[in-house]
Amino acid sequence: MNLGAIDPVLLIASLMVASTPIILAALGELVVEKSGVLNLGVEGMMITGAICGFAVAVETGSPVLGFVLAAVGGAVMALIFGILTQYLLSNQVATGLALTLFGLGISAMIGQGYRGIKPPATPKLDMGPLSDLPVVGRILFSHDWMVYFALALVAAVWAFLKFTRGGLILRAVGESHDAAHALGYKVVRIRLAAIAFGGACAGMGGAYISLVRVPQWTDGMTAGAGWIALAIVVFSSWRAGRVLLGAYLFGGITVLQLNLQAAGVPVPVEILSMSPFVITIIVLVIMSATQRGAAVAPAMLGRIFHASS
């Protein structure tokens, strides 16, 4: 056993990288759920984004273009879900699950010709002297631009929901779609926009896995990250800031688990792997035990809206 072998600075730096895909996906899902829609297809949208981004980056040689098209791919997938649930009024849980299965299948099909290929590298941002600062430089100023983009997006979503008129409308739709409709807001259109945003975020999260974190394409490579993102939204009790906390907790435990093994600490892998989920359940229990806990979730979450009702 040699705990000294684990460098906390490097540990934090790598947990920031490991958490980036789930931050993006969870943030997108947070906005979707705030509008009153439950989309369980995060995993399917992530894997679709992963292959779209990978394929485009390989063909064009540009990782930036890859990320953009990953967002488009994820959004297209999400809009399939949107049209089914918002216009055809299908059940959101079943449609979301179907979207995951569909995404895993179609990504494997698109990905046939992209196995074993190296994608163009996503360079780390060059921040000059800032990166050379002790401790802070390694943790904060030595990542690729997607890490900063994800962090900026957390702040943007938080500000949007809290301070802007648009955020207020989105929340109103999620809390009472009938009231929002009576006020003249286009409930379906607002929800479709939220769903597309969620898909775009999930797609970029998936592309981060295939373009930066691994980087290569293999079938089913998101390996459950979408489900973790869904758990984090609940864990965060629908707040953008806590999404960050939750993602770092989940990402951190994954990285810590491997580091502890490498350092020869005999901690059972299974216990560490399940701990974030156990914590999520505990948080849920605490939330529902308190009086105001029940009011945390958007009131219309998962409910079908039709203007006639």
Q: Considering the rule CB under 8 A, would residue 116 count as an interface residue with other proteins?
A: yes
In angstroms, the CA 216 to CA 90 distance is 36
Q: Tell me if 293 contacts other proteins by CB under 8 A.
A: no
Distance CA 274, CA 279 (A): 9
CA distance 184 to 190: 12
124: β partners? 144
Tokens of 95: 């449609």
By CB under 8 A, the residues from 51 to 90 that bind other proteins are none
> Is residue 263 part of the contact set for other proteins (CB under 8 A)?
yes
Among 118, 123, 165, 308, binds other proteins (CB under 8 A): 118
Count CA atoms within 13 Å of residue 211 on its CB side.
39
> Would you call 124 helix, strand, or coil by DSSP?
strand
Residue with Cβ nearer other proteins (253 or 284): 253
Question: Minimum distance between the CB of residue 261 and other proteins, rounded to whole angstroms?
Answer: 5
First to last CA, the chain: 64
CB of 130 to other proteins, least distance (A): 21
Among 152, 258, 281, 307, binds other proteins (CB under 8 A): 258
Among 218, 275, 301, 302, interactor with other proteins by CB under 8 A: 218
Amino acid letter for position 214: V
Residue 226 CA to residue 18 CA, distance in Å, equals: 14
d(CA 29, CA 23): 10
Question: Which of the residues 237 through 256 are near other proteins (CB under 8 A)?
Answer: 254-255
Rounded to whole angstroms, the Cα distance separating 42 from 231 reads: 11
CA triple 243-156-256, angle to 5 deg: 30
**Could you tell me the smallest distance in angstroms from the CB atom of residue 48 to other proteins?**
17
The residue from 91, 261, 288, 290 that contacts other proteins (CB under 8 A) is: 261
223 binds other proteins (CB under 8 A): yes
CB nearer to other proteins: give 176 or 216: 216
| C-beta of 261 vs 288, nearer to other proteins | 261
CB of residue 219 to other proteins, shortest distance in Å: 5
- Interface with other proteins by CB under 8 A: which residues? 5-7, 10-11, 14, 18, 115-116, 118, 209, 213-216, 218-223, 254-255, 258-259, 261-264, 266, 268-269
